[in-house]
Amino acid sequence: MAEGSPSRMLDPDLFDRGDIFCFDAQPYLGELFETVRARKKPLTVVVGAGVSMNSSLPSWRDLIDKMTNEIKNASTKKIALRDDSDLMRKAEIVLQILKDGGQDVEDHTIIRRALYSDSHATPGVLADSIARLVCANRKYAGKRARLLTTNFDEILEAALRAYFEEEDVESFSLKPGGSSAWKAWDRRLGRIGVMHLHGLVRQDGDPEEPIVLTESQFLKHGAQVRDVISNALEGACTIFIGLGMSDPNLIGPLYATAEARPPRFSLVVPPGVNGVTTTEAARYAISSARYLEDKLGLRPIFLKSYSQLNQVISDLALAVVEPRRYRPTVKSDASLVYRRRLTRALDDCYTGVGCGKGAEIPTGQAAEELTTRLHLALEIDDGPLQVLRELARQYGHPLGGGAGENFGLFLWLRSRELEDERHRYILNLVGTSVYAHREDWSLRHHVKISRETEFAAAQAVFTGNVQATNLTPTPIAQIWRGIFATPILLAGIGSDQMIGEDPADVLTVGAITLNSTFVIRTNGERVADEDLSLISKLDSAAKNLLLDSLDKAAQYAIHPN
């Protein structure tokens, strides 16, 4: 937009009033969907640390802190941890200290230890949705889609292999010939290459250099990085995901071409600030983004949560494979636009749990029937208790009875009430497997979905990922200690189109929690063996079995037939 023109970004006053995945509230969101849906321009997706964090890997700051913690000298470590230098400069200092202390000479070895935990890194929902969007463009629309990242990990490649053949997914770096090899690889639409602008540090295997982490490395390789980004942006619709937009190697190419006003969008979840409410942090983030809009020609789009950010990317893929129906002008019943699909899905869910028209919690006989159904959902084939009993045998864990661990299911749904003609961004607790409420006032609902929420269900919907937390027993709530929460996804609400083996139409409609009478370890804290939940003992494969069982239980409770 011309400098000084009225902003087309989200009005900060609207951030805390209803769902902001809305074309009316965010004109740039409508422009993004129309550009992607029209399929006239190739797509370039630039991915940053936010996508890796969604896959349980550290942020850039956390990565450097983990490297700092490897310093052996206690005094030096303390000083380094308190050093608030620019992160590139701090990385330079920390690597030099580690090398002077006789530790590994190779940067990538130090980075690998800090980047990965003992378990194998697996893609989160953001990486999966990005892979689905790229696949929709390349395989279904026949349009070029390029993928660049500043991340060191292979999360994107792992996600892409669910939609492309293993041999058709390749990693590239800025080593000599790397850029031209990437372009040549990407010419065939059945393949996809990921350009790692800062290098690649594999969890297993050799790195792809050059590694770009420190100040001197940015200075040495910056011109090459900027050149690759400039070429990828040319003539494309570009989406920046999970990036802070402060990297000079990103800002330079944007500034140089800002006057041409190409379609370039950034998807932003306002960062949290200690001691500041989400609303105040969002207001600051939106005001700060005016610079990106005015000077760089970027079109910032703001989302309330990482789950909502993921929903936008997922819906973009749906718009690619359903271009005629993903339009605001399509009649309501046939429209696949997010707000209309969500309205239909929530009405279906609330009807399924026994609510009358407009009601948000079942009461009386309907509430008792839902409690019975949630209790049965625990026991269905491949349901939570069947999985937990088998795992308890494997781990030698006491289950059931007075001394063993016991569980209950709690079902939460997104509110279907409207605020300024948009769905309120809150969750309702509609029922549990352990007790029924005859009157709607006696069951707490209306829990806000936000960064600062204490409710595990709302945390799961905010992050789009599994969340665990613990309760302090009180005279009112003496039973439950640990809570394990996961979002509820419904597929195929309005479209039966598939992308690879997955439905193109996916919606987050709520969360289901598994409440435990034992404590779940959340941050490595010490817990007495006799109080430790079985959930804390599970490896990633076993947890995935449990998550699949919770999904089955949620679907059964909402749609028993």
Given a contact cutoff of 8 angstroms between Cβ atoms, the answer to whether 137 and 45 are in contact is no
Least confident of 126-135, 380-389, 409-418, 465-474: 465-474
pTM of the model: 0.93
For 77-84, what is the mean pLDDT? 91
Among the listed residues 196, 213, 202, the one whose alpha carbon sits nearest the alpha carbon of residue 109: 202
The per-residue pLDDT for 442 is 53
Residue-wise pLDDT for 266-288, tens only, equals: 999 998 888 888 888 889 999 99
DSSP-derived letter for residue 521 is P
Query: Whole-number mean pLDDT of the chain?
Result: 90
396 pLDDT tier (thresholds 50, 70, 90):
very high
Helices (H), 103-143: 107-115, 125-135
Find the mean pLDDT for residues 319-326.
Answer: 95
By the 10 Å C-beta count (0-12 exposed, 13-18 middle, 19+ buried), 5 is classed as: exposed
Beta strands in 139-257 (DSSP E): 145-149, 169-172, 192-196, 237-241
Q: Is-cis flag, bond preceding 210, omega within 30?
A: yes
Residues 101-147: tens digit of each pLDDT: 776 578 999 999 999 976 677 899 999 999 999 999 999 999 999 99
Q: What is the percent of the chain with per-residue pLDDT over 70, rounded to a whole number? A: 96
- Kindly write down the DSSP assignment for every residue of 428-443, as one continuous string: EEEEESS---SSGGGS
Residues 6+ apart with CB under 8 A from 441: none
| Residue 496: strand, helix, or coil | coil
Band of the pLDDT at 238, cuts 50, 70, 90? Answer: very high
414 — pLDDT class (breaks 50, 70, 90) = very high
- pLDDT confidence of 17, banded at 50, 70, 90? confident
For strand 237-241 and strand 264-268, is the pairing parallel, antiparallel, or unpaired? parallel
Span 448-475, pLDDT tens digits = 999 889 999 999 999 999 999 998 766 6
Cα dihedral 377, 379, 385, 386, rounded to 10, equals -130
Q: What is the pLDDT of residues 136-179, one digit of tens each?
A: 999 999 999 999 999 999 999 999 999 999 999 999 999 999 99
CB-based contact 138:145 (threshold 8 Å): yes
Residue in 55, 46, 89, 433 with CA at minimum distance from that of residue 250: 46
Helix (H) or strand (E) holding 529: none
Sequence length of the chain is 561
Please name the amino acid found at residue 395: Y
Q: In degrees rounded to 5, what are phi and psi of residue 34?
A: -65, -40
Closest CA to 25 of 426, 507, 422: 422
Angle between the N-to-C axes of helices 215-233 and 178-186, in degrees from 0 to 180, rounded to the nearest 10: 30
d(CA 312, CA 297): 21
What CA–CA distance (Å, rounded) separates 549 from 383? Answer: 5
CA distances from 125 to 6, 157, 461 (A): 35, 14, 12
Predicted confidence (pLDDT) at residue 2 exceeds the cutoff of 70: no
Residue 399 pLDDT: 93
pLDDT, position 540: 83
Amino acid 122: pLDDT? 86
Type and span of the H or E element at 420: none
Q: Which residue has the tokens 């509430």?
A: 367
